[in-house]
Amino acid sequence: MAGEPGHTCARGPRCASDYQGRISGPLLDRIDIRIDVPAVSAADLIRPTASESSADVALRVARARERQRERFERAGMKDVGTNARCSTAMIETIAEPDAAGLQLLRDAAEKMKFSARGYHRILKVARTLADLDDKPTVGRIHLAEAISYRIAGERLAAHA
């Protein structure tokens, strides 16, 4: 894979951008979270790091999903169980950001020219991040993280 240590290509950086450019913009716009995952080095494997256990992460995810299910049930939407599956009108209601988050979202939407679909997907991801943090309101930090997950995809499209 391009970008991995030891990978060489006679075409250089253009090889990676051509490969990434095969994904159409409308398809890429439907992908909620896009991140670069670099190759793990031996030093990364040897170095001890403090991290959240898989069991703790699973519990946090289960709690967030339960909050989402309960939220939609209270709204009379028993067929919707997650933020990803809710309507655009509903996500605008349940993911209404705080003032700082709203300003960040406005600035980012203007600068990065989000499509309507991209805008709503950012709200859905941000609401999910707030649920994972057990926060009732979507804050600037949740929106910043959700936007960062889209930036990787925007860079891919720009290189195409």
Domain boundaries, the chain: 60-150
The pLDDT score that the predictor gives to residue 22 is 73
Give the least confident one: 55-59, 85-89, 154-158: 154-158
The three-class DSSP label of residue 97 is strand
Counting every residue, how long is the chain? 160
pLDDT value at 13 more than 70:
no
The pLDDT score that the predictor gives to residue 141 is 96
- Assign 159 a pLDDT band (cuts: 50, 70, 90): very low
Give the count of alpha carbons within 13 A of 104, CB side only. Answer: 20
Burial of 34 (0-12, 13-18, 19+ CB in 10 A): middle
For 125, phi and psi rounded to 5 degrees? Answer: -65, -45
Q: What is the mean pLDDT of residues 87-110?
A: 94
| Higher-scoring residue by pLDDT: 112, 7 | 112
pTM: 0.75
Q: Are 2 and 16 in contact (CB under 8 A)?
A: yes
**CATH topology (fold) of 60-150:** Helicase, Ruva Protein; domain 3 (1.10.8)
- pLDDT tens digits for 105-152? 999 999 988 889 889 999 999 999 999 999 999 999 999 999 998 876
